[in-house]
Amino acid sequence: MGFAEKSDKILRHLPSPLRQLLAFLVTIFAIELFLMALLPRAAGSGTPLAVSLLDAFLLVILSAPIIWWSVVRPLRSVALTASLHTDLLLDHIADGIISFDGAGRLLSLNPAAEQLFGSGSAEVAGRSISDILAIRSTGKDNPLLTPLVCCGEEHSRLTCEAEGIRSDGSRFPAALALSRVQLDGKWNFIGIVRDVTESREAGERLRETNEKLDALIQASPQGIVAVDCNGNVTLWNRAAEEIFGWSADEVLGKPYPAVPAEREAEHRKLRELVLQGKRVTDVELRRRRRDGVPIDVSLSAAPICDSLGTPLGVITIISDISARKRSEQELVLLKRAMESSINGITITDATHPDNPIIYVNPAFERITGYGVDEVIGKNPRFLRGDDRDQAELKKLMHAFREEREGCFVLRNYRKDGSPFWNELFIAPVRDRDGVVTNYIGVMNDITEHRRYEEQLVYQATHDPLTGLPNRNLLQDRLGQALALEAFRRRNPICVMFLDLDNFKKVNDTLGHTVGDMLLKAVANRLKNCLRGGDTVARLGGDEYIIVLPNVREMHDVITVAKKMINVFAAPLLLMGNEIYVTASIGIALFPTDGETVDALLKNADAAMYHAKEQGKNNYQFYSAEMNTRVFERLSLETSLHRAVKNQEFMLHYQPRVDLRSGQICGVEALVRWNHPEMGLVSPAKFIPLAEETGLIVPMGEWVLRTACAQNKAWQDAGLPPLRMAVNLSARQFRQENLIEMVEEILMETGLAPQWLELELTESLVMQEAEKSAAILRDLTDRGIEVAIDDFGTGYSSLSYLKRFPIANLKIDQAFIRDMTRDPDDATLVKTIITMAHGLGMKTIAEGVELAEQIDFLCRHQCEEMQGYYFSRPVTAEELGRLLAEGKTLDLSPVHVDPRDRIRAV
């Protein structure tokens, strides 16, 4: 045991207070000795130096254990404890710790290092550091190891990347921290080695993640911008470059450039809010581009914080919504436009089968009277009510079917039921695929417009004074009449030019007011005497034009002209004045007097002047021939009136012969007019005039009475009884009291009804067929026979013919005349005979003049004939003679097949 250990042992057993007292005393003693040894020499005292040295020696001997115990030992204890702790630490530390000397020889490895390298500390002690570590240079001349190994002063601590080499030769990436320490005057090295395989992989993953993130950020269609707490840009992706126009290089590290000056404060405030943790989502802000153009952006922002939550900056995602904003603004504008439009607008949903309304504007409500709520969901067809029969509706439907736009004028109805004219424009709206999704309808209430238009048209086409059509409308109507009637059917059209004879005098003497009143009164009178299709127009002044389209007979024209003249017969009472006016009328007829509007007006005007020349107050035709005819007709009419009064008529009788026996079986009464100057006038000339004037009624009654009386007279004279055929004209047939009149005459004359036959033309009975059938039934019910005259010239409905109680068909002489030459006529006659027989009727051939005609008729079993071949119409006396003589038709030359003759008999 050394001195130190022994001293330690002794002192360890002393009580602690004593040890402390002893240490105190030794210390005091040492101080004293020191002072004694040094002070005398310094002060020059007499204490010998030897004594002092002895004292000092004793002191050292005595104080040594004390100093050991109280100073060195505690210090040594601290060092040992530290060493112990270091060992423990090294044993348990997770990092590998290696030590090697200045020559690179390994000294020790802690357990973690042993595990890392797969070698025990003892195994590797003394081996080269390079056996377990390949240190990568961090500089150009391996600046790591060289200075450390050479113990230079440049580096005392270094960190570097290294590669660990395990005992099995495998390697792992390592991080190495080297420290240089001096032990026992020698430089040693302590290295902390960490296997960085995991952290390196984590780093790699992090790097990959960062790369992806960066790619994502750059590829984002939205601008991604980050700023630090001071507002300097730290991230600026490509979309941000496109949105704002600045490149990343221009803005990184600089303040965010896109904030307009007037919005800086707002921007700062927003950034602060975000830094305080507030999240900002889809805030719409105004920013500016690099070229100064303002843009609208939608922005979402969030703070960027470190792991401790300390804010480092703000990241924002930015979308350029300028286009959307513009669209929104456009939509607002469009909506505003639709709402302020004076036209009603509807939008319907074409994807729905019923195409219901999804929008109407206020104008729609105003025009129709329906509120939005009443129409949404309904198809707009409710506006047309039950009024479906509109040509434009069909066109609208067509447009819908073809999915195209179109404009239509429809009759629609408001909520209160009042109609309005709707000028409707529809347009389909298509989606990207071209499918119609909606229809837009723009309605325009053109009721007023139409009224105004009509008013305008009326004013442009009518005489403001009289309200009659003016020259424009006249020309239009006459032009239409010419085009439609004249060129299509070639029916005559009459144009009358009427001029007042004494209007100027009235105007000059009674003034313009009375003159105007006169013109109006004349207009009214003229209108009242015309039919619906006729036109009366005023050309100006006292000139009026009358147009009669579709004139059937000349008599109509004369009737109207006469009516016009008569219109002025009664005086006009105007402002207390009784005014007499007369008119002169000129008449032009299409096509004889002209084929154009101008020609007809011009010629009617000329005719009117002619009427003036003829002494006014009369009418004149443009053509001289027409005037002559009219004159003749007029005089004939006058004579006819007189003839009826003076009994100037007489009857001739034409016998009818039975073709089977050749005997006279009947007669037809044919009227003759024995005119005092003209002699015998043909019925073909005066019957139509008598019909037009109505004189046919008294004349026809005379004929019937005379014929019946004559027949009865023959019978009474003992002549063989005959059937008397009497012609009935249309007017007679339609006369109300026809049946009574016939009955009365039969009674009066005493003739049995079966000896009377009434002849009616085919066209006459076919008009108003039902009524005709009833009259015919009334007649036949009374035993009177009915024959159809001139059969084949008119249009017969066979079904009616079958139902009419007709006894005889008289085949028109036009067919008889040509039947032996014209095969068509022959066929017709044969057919008529066959048909009549089929219907249970007899046939009578009219106008038979030739033996061969008799031959033909007999061969085809026609029952009776009438014609010059046997006898012309003759007087009553002559016919009486024929009957008395028993004149018969010689049928001997007739070449009838004996079989037919047998059949006929």
Enumerate binding residues for ligand C2E (CB under 6 A): 654, 669-671, 682-684, 687, 700, 703, 727, 729, 759, 789-790, 813, 846-849, 866-868, 873
Hey, what long-range contacts does 218-222 have (CB within 8 A, 24 or more apart)?
220/317, 222/317, 222/318, 222/319
Q: For ligand C2E, which is the closer residue by CB, 610 or 817?
A: 817
Query: Could you tell me the smallest distance in angstroms from the CB atom of residue 690 to ligand C2E?
Result: 8
Min dist CB 689 to ligand C2E, Å, is 12
Task: Encode 724-737: b = buried (16+ Cβ within 10 Å), e = exposed.
Answer: bbbbbbebbbebee
Nearest approach in angstroms of CB 619 to ligand C2E is 29
Least Å distance, CB 652 to ligand C2E, is: 7
Q: How far is the CB of 759 from ligand C2E (least distance, A)?
A: 6
Q: Cβ 731 to ligand C2E, closest distance in Å?
A: 9
Distance CA 593, CA 608 (A): 14
Please identify, using beta-carbon distances, which residue of 410 and 667 lies nearer to ligand C2E.
667
Could you tell me if residue 408 is left (phi over 0), alpha (psi between -120 and 50 degrees) or otherwise beta? beta
Given a contact cutoff of 8 angstroms between Cβ atoms, the answer to whether 650 and 878 are in contact is no
Q: Given the complex with ligand C2E, which of 314 and 657 has the nearer CB atom?
A: 657
Helices (H), 44-72: 49-67
Shortest distance, CB of residue 679 to ligand C2E, whole angstroms? 14
Q: What are phi and psi of 207, to 5 degrees?
A: -65, -45
- Please state the three-class secondary structure of 106-156 as a single string: EEEECHHHHHHHCCCHHHHCCCEHHHHEEECCCCCCCCCHHHHHCCCCCCC
Q: How far is the CB of 850 from ligand C2E (least distance, A)?
A: 9
CB 872 → ligand C2E: shortest distance, Å? 7
Handedness of CA 503, 507, 509, 510 (dihedral sign): positive
CB of 637 closer than 8 Å to CB of 625: no
Nearest-approach distance from CB 588 to ligand C2E, in angstroms: 32
- CA proximity to 722, closest of 730, 731, 714: 714
In degrees, to the nearest 5, what angle opens at C-alpha 641 toward C-alphas 637 and 647?
130
- Given a contact cutoff of 8 angstroms between Cβ atoms, the answer to whether 888 and 663 are in contact is yes
Q: Which is nearer to ligand C2E, 861 or 871 (CB)?
A: 871
For residue 710, the minimal CB distance to ligand C2E (Å) is 12
Q: Please identify, using beta-carbon distances, which residue of 588 and 657 lies nearer to ligand C2E.
A: 657
Q: Which is nearer to ligand C2E, 507 or 639 (by Cβ)?
A: 639
CB-nearer residue toward ligand C2E: 425 or 702: 702
Cα distance between residue 115 and residue 131, in whole Å: 15
* Cβ proximity to ligand C2E, 248 vs 741, nearer residue: 741
117 versus 649: smaller Cβ distance to ligand C2E: 649
Amino acid at 858: C
- For residue 542, the minimal CB distance to ligand C2E (Å) is 44
Least distance to ligand C2E, CB of residue 867, Å:
3
Q: What three-state secondary structure class fits 652?
A: strand
Q: In the complex with ligand C2E, which residue's Cβ is closer, 100 or 733?
A: 733
Residue among 849 and 855 whose Cβ is closer to ligand C2E: 849
Q: Which is nearer to ligand C2E, 557 or 848 (CB)?
A: 848
Q: Which residues have C-beta within 8 Å of that of residue 422, sequence separation ≥ 6?
A: 383, 409, 410, 411, 412, 443, 444, 445, 446
In terms of CB distance, is 587 or 845 closer to ligand C2E?
845
212, 104, 95, 218: which is closest to 150 by C-alpha?
A: 104
788/833 Cα distance (integer angstroms): 13
> Which residues on neighbouring strands pair with residue 393, listed in sequence order?
none
Alpha-carbon gap, residue 681 to 689, rounded angstroms: 12
Pick from 158, 140, 139: nearest CA to 148: 158
Tokens of 762: 């085919």
